[in-house]
Amino acid sequence: MVRPHVPPHLPYPDLATRQQFAANLRAKRLELGISQRKLGKAFGRSYGIVAHWERCMGIPTYEHAAAICTFLGIPNPWTATAHHAAGSRSQLPAAAEGSEV
């Protein structure tokens, strides 16, 4: 398995953590009414990658996970403490504006 770039002090997330991230990502995205395509575009990824993350077939890089988790208010699978971000934003980053839902 190729390990995505991650700071050396952080371990690769175990299967249970990755599965929980996948479930949290999908649930929060659906709750907010955001399509996989729109979420992917907002963070410079394709909707196919978002679908893979939601099916626990992969995990975002440390940097992408940090941005996505902060935006959605879900725990980051790369951090040991994985605190919930306070609240969630109501708008996607500017990169997704004007994209189809």
Token representation of residue 70: 């902060």
> Would you state the pLDDT for residue 91?
53
Q: Domain ranges in the chain?
A: 15-78
Q: Which CATH code for domain 15-78?
A: 1.10.260.40
Mean pLDDT, rounded, for 29-41: 96
Question: Other C-beta atoms within 10 Å of 75: how many?
Answer: 18
Count of beta carbons in the 10 Å neighbourhood of residue 3: 6
Lowest-pLDDT range of 38-42, 61-65, 72-76, 85-89: 85-89
pLDDT at 8: 67
Residue 90, pLDDT > 50, answer no
Mean pLDDT value of segment 36-54: 96
